[in-house]
Amino acid sequence: MYGCSDWGKGHTCPSRPGSLKPWEYRKVFEEYSWGIIIHSTDKKISQDVSFAIEREAFLHGYYFAFSLSDCAICSECAGFKGKDCLNPKKARPAFHSVGIDVFRTVHQFELPLETLKNGHQQQNWYSAVFIE
């Protein structure tokens, strides 16, 4: 919430009414034994791939597959205008918004991620799919 100008506005934000809090997500994630991390330099691609993996896992009997990805479905979230989500079946919370330390997680797998210091650095986007 600190430094986030979108806090409480987007439909996948953990500050929205009815959203699970990070400590509640922790309990949910304890039920999963494995998952997949998706890396891209494009936010929408990262989300599209994670959702496709979630869907395929579900179709193959992994009914609790759950993707996390910073939402990029719409060009502007309807929540910013106080309206209902236009894609509630695809909208997922961000990897970092549920209390996961993305830096520590991806560095364990030697994936690239560093703090952006200027507008010239390539941005890395990460999604995850938990599968059980």
Residues 60-77 pLDDT 10s: 999 999 999 888 888 887
Grade residue 1 by pLDDT with cuts at 50, 70 and 90: low
Decide if 73 contacts 91 (C-beta within 8 A): yes
Decide if 42 contacts 125 (C-beta within 8 A): yes
Residues 116-132 pLDDT 10s: 787 777 788 889 999 98
DSSP H or E stretch at residue 66 = strand 66-68
> Mean pLDDT score of the chain, rounded to an integer?
85
Give phi and psi for 73, each to the nearest 5: -65, -50
Tokens 């509640």 found at: 24
pLDDT over 80 at 8, yes or no: no
pLDDT of residue 2: 66
Residues 37-62 pLDDT 10s: 999 989 899 999 999 999 999 999 99
Mean pLDDT across the stretch 74-89? 81
